[in-house]
Amino acid sequence: MPADNRGNSESGWRFPEVPYFWFILPGLLAYSILFIWPTIRSFYLSLYDWSGRGPLGPIVWEQNFRNIVHSDKFWQAAGNSFKLFIFIFIFQNTISLGLALLLNRGGASTHFFRVIIFLPQIMSAVATGIIWILMLDPIIGAINPFLADIGLESFQRQWQSDPAWALRTVMIVMAWQWNGMAVILYLAGLQNVPEDLRHAAMIDGAGRFRTFKDITFPMLAPAFTIVTVLSFILIFRAFDLIYILGGPAGVPDGATLVLGVLIYSDAFGQGAFNSQARFSFAMAEGVTLFIFLAAISGLLIWLLGRREAAVKT
């Protein structure tokens, strides 16, 4: 009997898929217990007044969500997250894409530079955050003296405490960390662009820029979709590196506060004596963020998917 037909029973159950089901079952169970169930549970808890311990308080969902709408901190954090995403989006589609194009040209040191560029991505965010803090410190840091040594004294800043520069500093550090992911994704995309198409365009007289604009970049549509959607989700829920750089309050005075840090601070307090943990309020913030991310990500995937389809045709 041909293998393809073995599972065609009257009930519609495809027998050949059964072994795969058992293979994925442990992972599926773990994922359900550790991710899906807590997510569903957080929707439930966001309806109540609960500090995180003891019995649930009364249902106050309306108050929780109304407080979010009227919370200056929430909108400040949302605004910072949005600015961060815009910066990372532009960075990844200029600098990261440019680096991917350079690496795609090959050469003896290509592998070395790939490793160097991807390294920040796999390093501990806490460790890199602490190293950045030390480097950026105006008194004991290395960056300001380095700028002075190369004659750029005017570029010296109080990187983390100047309200005008604190978020920009976080943006630079985040871009450094996430650059590797975008470069690798674009590099994978570039390696799928048929060489004969590019050659044909060049034979027809197209220059390098024209070939990139009309052939290479459109063919990178799937990679562009992945980079954009991933960056959007990762930036809006970013926590670890930004928490290390800006602390629970997003110093100075909330200038580096982003949604991930705000939710954590509300859930667990700011690490202070008798911090007021507002777990259910933090859950409501998390639910709001979840819905926002799901909606915008869905929209992005739909829009960019249409663009991919247009490129294919």
Partner 1 sequence: MSRYSSLATHRMGRRGLLKAGGAMAAAGALTPMTFAIREAGAQDVTTITMWGNHPEWADAMGEIIAAFESVEPTVQIDFSAVTSDQYGAKIQTAIQGGETSDIFGDQEGSVIVRVRAGGELPFIDVTDRVDVSGLTDTARGQVEVDGVVYGCPLAAYTVGLAINNQVFADAGVVPPTTWDELTATCEALKSAGVAAPIVLGGKDWVHPYFMYIGLASSVLRPEGVEAVRQGTKSLSDPDVVSAVQLLVDLMPYYNAGFEATDYTTAKAIFANGQGAMMVAGTTDYTGYYQVNPDADLSFVAWPGPGPDMTATTTGFELLYTVSAFSDTEKQDAAAKFVNWLATVEAQQMVMDKISLAVHKDITESVDPIRTETIAASRGVDVPVWYAVPELNGSVIATQDNHGGLWTGRISPQEFSDIQQAAVVPSGAATPTA
Q: Which residues bind partner 1 (CB under 8 A)?
A: 52-54, 133-134, 137-140, 158-163, 166, 246-249, 251-254, 268-277, 279
Which run of H or E residues covers position 99?
A: helix 97-104
Toward partner 1, which CB reaches closer, 222 or 248?
A: 248
Toward partner 1, which CB reaches closer, 42 or 161?
A: 161
Chain centre distance of CA 78: 14
d(CA 93, CA 66): 37
Q: Please, what is the minimum distance in Å from the beta carbon of residue 160 to partner 1? A: 3
Q: Please, what is the minimum distance in Å from the beta carbon of residue 144 to partner 1? A: 9
Q: Are 282 and 214 in contact (CB under 8 A)?
A: no
d(CA 237, CA 231): 10
Q: Please, what is the minimum distance in Å from the beta carbon of residue 78 to partner 1? A: 18
d(CA 38, CA 46): 12
Toward partner 1, which CB reaches closer, 161 or 297?
A: 161
Number of Cβ atoms within 10 Å of the Cβ of 150 = 8
Chain centre distance of CA 154: 32
Q: Are 173 and 207 in contact (CB under 8 A)?
A: no
Toward partner 1, which CB reaches closer, 236 or 279?
A: 279
Q: Please, what is the minimum distance in Å from the beta carbon of residue 270 to partner 1? A: 5
Q: How many CA atoms lie within 13 A of 122 on its CB side?
A: 7
Toward partner 1, which CB reaches closer, 178 or 264?
A: 264
How does DSSP classify residue 33?
A: I
Q: Please, what is the minimum distance in Å from the beta carbon of residue 122 to partner 1? A: 24
Q: What are phi and psi of 59, to 5 degrees?
A: -75, 120
In three-state secondary structure terms, 48 is: strand
Q: Please, what is the minimum distance in Å from the beta carbon of residue 90 to partner 1? A: 25
Toward partner 1, which CB reaches closer, 99 or 261?
A: 261
| Residue 273, CA distances (Å) to 49, 54, 247, 265 in order | 21, 19, 16, 13
Toward partner 1, which CB reaches closer, 49 or 137?
A: 137
Q: Please, what is the minimum distance in Å from the beta carbon of residue 158 to partner 1? A: 4
Q: Are 117 and 183 in contact (CB under 8 A)?
A: yes
